Amino acid sequence: MDKEIAGMIVAVNDEGYLTNLEQWTKEIGEAIAGEENIAMTEQHWKVIEFLQHAHRNSEALSIRSLGKHGPVSIKEFYVLFPGGPLKKASRIAGIPKPASCV
């Protein structure tokens, strides 16, 4: 289905995740973060870039892998994206919900 985010029409699934990363822009990421009540900082953007890079390289995403290889610790990740950090961060990043998220 299509949804207007940040003044652009993008394809999303029934959970609100973009279905085409090519449609993602930083403005769309900001708008989705606003929907999640997250004020984006430089640390947030580092996590988003890490997730997009991992997705493009078909790497399996999990909180554990992000804590081991990502730009922030697991504790910081939960502080940056409270209440379902990997789901929220993935949605903001414009990538599908990771399989490790229920």
Whole-model pTM: value is 0.94
- Give the number of other Cβ atoms within 10 Å of residue 27's Cβ: 12
User: Alpha helices, DSSP H only, in 1-73?
Assistant: 26-35, 42-56, 63-69
Task: Render pLDDT for 43-80 as a digit per residue (tens, 0 to 9).
Answer: 999 999 999 999 999 988 888 888 899 999 999 999 99
Q: Would you state the pLDDT for residue 36?
A: 95
Q: Would you state the pLDDT for residue 102?
A: 65
Catalytic site residues? 101
**Contacts of 33 by beta carbon, 8 Å cutoff, 6+ apart:** 39, 40, 44, 92
Average pLDDT, the chain: 94
**Between these two residues, 100 and 37, which has the higher pLDDT value?**
37
Q: Would you state the pLDDT for residue 33?
A: 98
Q: What is the mean pLDDT of residues 24-33?
A: 98
Domain boundaries, the chain: 2-93
